[in-house]
Amino acid sequence: MATFFFASIVVILSILGLSLGLILNNKPLEGSCGGMSNLDSDLECTICGGNPKKCPK
């Protein structure tokens, strides 16, 4: 039972640390135009809509 509580505390602290880092960094979440759209030419990037000028370098 102690292992469960220790693991829960570790997970909660990890999520809290990641969320604080995101808040303090003050940057919005960003997607990427890489990934699956680069593997298959039939797929289109849903974030940039096929326009690579919209994607940050």
How confident is the chain (57 residues) per 10-residue block, as mean pLDDT? 96 95 80 58 61 65
Rounded to an integer, what is the distance from CA 15 to the centroid of its chain?
A: 13
* C-beta separation of 47 from 31 below 8 A: yes
pLDDT at 10: 98
Angstrom distance (rounded) from CA 18 to CA 25: 10
pLDDT of residue 38: 57
pLDDT value at position 43? Answer: 55
Model-level pTM?
Answer: 0.48
Contact 47, 55 (CB under 8 A): yes
Q: Give the per-residue pLDDT at 25.
A: 86
- The count of domains in the chain is 1
> How far apart, in whole angstroms, are the C-alpha atoms of residue 49 and residue 6?
44
Domain hosting residue 25, numbered range? 2-54
- CB under 8 Å to 51, separation ≥6 — which residues? none
